[in-house]
Amino acid sequence: MTWNEGYVLEVNYTYGFYGELSPLKLALAATLKSLKSPNLEKNFNYCELACGRGYSTNLLASCYPQAQFYANDFNPSHIVEARTLAETAGTKNVHFFDDSFEEFINQDLPQFDFIVLHGIYSWITPRNRLAIVNFIRQKIKVGGMVYISYNTLPGWAAARPMQALMLRYGRNSSEPILTRIEKALSFTEQMLESKATYFTQNPILKPRLEKLKEQNRYYLAHEYFNEEWNAFYFDEVAKELEEAKLNFMGSAHLIDYVDAVNLSAAAQTQLSQVTDPIFQQVVRDFFLNTQFRRDIFTRGQLSLLSQEHLQVLRSLRFALVTSIKSMKFKHQFPLGEVELQEKVYRPICEALENGSLTLGELQKDSRTKDIALNSLYQALIIMTGIGYTHPAVSETVRKQRQKSTDAFNSAVKAKAIYSDEMNFLASPLVGTGIVVNRLEQLLLLAKERKQDGPQFIWQVLSGQGKKIIKEGKTLETESENLAHLATVAENFNGDRLPLLTKLGIS
C-alpha cells in the first residue's frame, strides 16, 4: 500500500463533529473582527478537506440546503460511509470524493467561500501540506474564509517525545493497531512508574497519560500513531499559508477573543507592546502554553465601517443551546475560575428562553434593556464560547431548513438502534450540530414512531442481548432496566426535549 503515505488505515476515524466548522460561527468570528463575512442566507460553496467519515459535512449540508458542500478524504472506507449517510438522508447538496489532496484539485470544483480542515495539518507530510496550500490558492474565493486547526508549540513541547516514544514502541510490531496502542500505553506507564528522568522532569506528563488512557482508541490511533506528526509555532503556519495569499483573521475559538479570561493584566500589557501581529500571536501562545490552535485565515479582508458594524451587531441573532437549569455561572477559563455576573447573564438567558432574539431585540426586551449593547455582546460571545448560546437564523429561514435537517436527523436516529457512534443531530435554527446521545436519540425515535420510549429502548437493547450499565453495575432484570429507562425518559421530557424542540430537533 503506498497511497496512504504512512497515514493510519487500519481503523476508521471517529464520528466527530466540531462546532468551529459551523458557517454561522465562522461568520460571527468575522463580525468580532469588524469584517464582512459571506452571506449565509444565499447560495455559498463550502469545502471540507480530509473530512474523515463525513459526519460534519453531511450535518452542515443539511443545515444549509441552499448551499453546496464538497469534501475529500483519501480513505475510501471513510467516503463510502459519508456517501451512504448522504444517500440515506437524501441530502442532495453534498459531494464526497475519495481523493488525496493532490488529486482533489483536478475535480470539477467551484470556487469556495469556505475551506475548512480540522485535525489534518499536523499529521501529514510537507508535500501534502504544500498540496493543501496549492488547493487553497486555486480554490478559495477572494474574501473567502479558511479554518485550519493544528498542534501548536510551545504547548506540545513537553509531551511530544511521549508521542514519539509510543509510535516507536509499536513501529516494528505486526500486531493489530488496537493491541499496539494498549501495549504502548502500558509500556509508557511502566516507564513513568520506573521514574524515567524524562517523566520526573516533566510532571505534566502523568495526568496527560492518565487522560490518554481514557480516550477513544480510534482517536488515539489517528492522533498518536501516525508516522507524520508535527507541532508548529503559529508563524510557521502563517508563512506556509501566505503562499495561498491568506492573512490571519482571528481565532475560531471564541473564548480567545476575551482577554480578561485568558491573560493577566501584566500579560495583556506586555502583549500589547508587541507590534508585529504575527509575533504577537506567538507570544500569546507562550503566555497560554497553547497546544492546539483553531485559526481563521482569509483571502483579502473587507472591514465594516463603524455604523455598518453596529448595524450587523444589532442584527446578530442568538439562541440558547443549553437549558438554563443545566448552566453554571462559574466557569473554568485559562486564567482560572471566573464567576459570570448573574445579573447580566441570567436575564439574557431568560429572554432567550422563549425563542431566539437579535441583539437589537434584546436591547428592547424588558429584561435586558438596561444592559449596555457592549455588555450584551460580550456576554453572548462568552456564552457562545462556553456552549450555552449559538448564533441563529430567523424563524422563516429555520422553516426553510427544517425538511433537510429532519431527514438527516432521521438517518442518524435510525443508526442509533445499532450503534452509539453518532452523537450529534442537526439544528436548523442554529445551523450546527447539537450533542444528543444514543438514549436521547432512541427516545426521539420512539416518539416519532408513536411508541413508549422506555419500552422501545428496552426492545432494542434486549434484542441485541444488552443491558443498561448504571454506575459500573449491570442492571440484570427487565424491571430494573425499565425502571431506569423510565427515569431517563422523565428527565429527558422535563428538560432536554423542550430545548431540542425549540432548536428544531425532534
Which residues contact ligand SAM (rule: CB under 6 A)? 7, 13, 16, 18, 50-52, 72-75, 78, 100-101, 118-120, 124, 128, 222
DSSP-derived secondary structure for 441-504: HHHHHHHHTT--HHHHHHHHHHHTT---EETTEE--SHHHHHHHHHHHHHHIIIIIHHHHHHTT
* Closer residue to ligand SAM (CB): 24 or 50: 50
Q: How far is the CB of 162 from ligand SAM (least distance, A)?
A: 18
Q: How far is the CB of 420 from ligand SAM (least distance, A)?
A: 17
Q: How far is the CB of 212 from ligand SAM (least distance, A)?
A: 16
Q: What angle do CA 15, 434, 335 make, to 5 degrees?
A: 95
Cα separation, 365 vs 44, in Å, equals: 33
* Closer residue to ligand SAM (CB): 78 or 438: 78
* Closer residue to ligand SAM (CB): 78 or 502: 78
Q: Which residue is nearest to ligand SAM, using beta carbons?
A: 52
* Closer residue to ligand SAM (CB): 44 or 135: 135
Contact between residue 408 and residue 297 where contact means Cβ atoms under 8 Å apart? no
3-class secondary structure, 32: helix
Q: Which one, of 47, 56, 263, 44, lies nearest residue 136 by Cα?
A: 47
> What's the half-sphere exposure (Cβ side, CA atoms, 13 Å) at 493?
12
Instruction: Give the chain's length.
Output: 506
Q: Which one, of 390, 398, 389, 351, lies nearest residue 370 by Cα?
A: 351
237, containing H or E segment = helix 234-242
Determine how many CB atoms are found less than 10 A away from the CB of residue 205: 21
* Closer residue to ligand SAM (CB): 7 or 492: 7
C-alpha cell at 93: 447538496
Cα separation, 142 vs 389, in Å, equals: 30
Q: How far is the CB of 172 from ligand SAM (least distance, A)?
A: 23
* Closer residue to ligand SAM (CB): 222 or 390: 222
Q: How far is the CB of 124 from ligand SAM (least distance, A)?
A: 5
C-alpha cell at 88: 440515506
Cα separation, 184 vs 166, in Å, equals: 5
If you ran DSSP here, which 8-state letter would residue 43 be given? -
* Closer residue to ligand SAM (CB): 222 or 293: 222
* Closer residue to ligand SAM (CB): 73 or 295: 73
What is the crossing angle of helices 126-139 and 234-242, to 10°?
50
Q: How far is the CB of 398 from ligand SAM (least distance, A)?
A: 27
Q: How far is the CB of 72 from ligand SAM (least distance, A)?
A: 6
Q: Which one, of 205, 166, 202, lies nearest residue 186 by Cα?
A: 166
* Closer residue to ligand SAM (CB): 87 or 227: 227
Contact between residue 64 and residue 89 where contact means Cβ atoms under 8 Å apart? no
If you ran DSSP here, which 8-state letter would residue 97 be given? E
Q: How far is the CB of 263 from ligand SAM (least distance, A)?
A: 28
Cα separation, 296 vs 299, in Å, equals: 10
* Closer residue to ligand SAM (CB): 349 or 426: 426
- For residue 302, is it left (φ>0), alpha (ψ between -120 and 50) or beta? beta
Q: How far is the CB of 20 from ligand SAM (least distance, A)?
A: 10
Q: How far is the CB of 423 from ligand SAM (least distance, A)?
A: 13
Cα separation, 12 vs 53, in Å, equals: 8
Q: How far is the CB of 429 from ligand SAM (least distance, A)?
A: 24
* Closer residue to ligand SAM (CB): 41 or 227: 227
Instruction: Return contacts of 210-217, CB within 8 angstroms, 24+ apart.
Output: 212/185, 213/185, 213/189, 216/14, 217/11, 217/178, 217/181, 217/182
Q: How far is the CB of 135 from ligand SAM (least distance, A)?
A: 10
Q: How far is the CB of 228 from ligand SAM (least distance, A)?
A: 8
* Closer residue to ligand SAM (CB): 74 or 456: 74
DSSP-derived secondary structure for 312-341: HHHT-EEEESS-GGG--SEEEETTEEEE--
* Closer residue to ligand SAM (CB): 17 or 456: 17
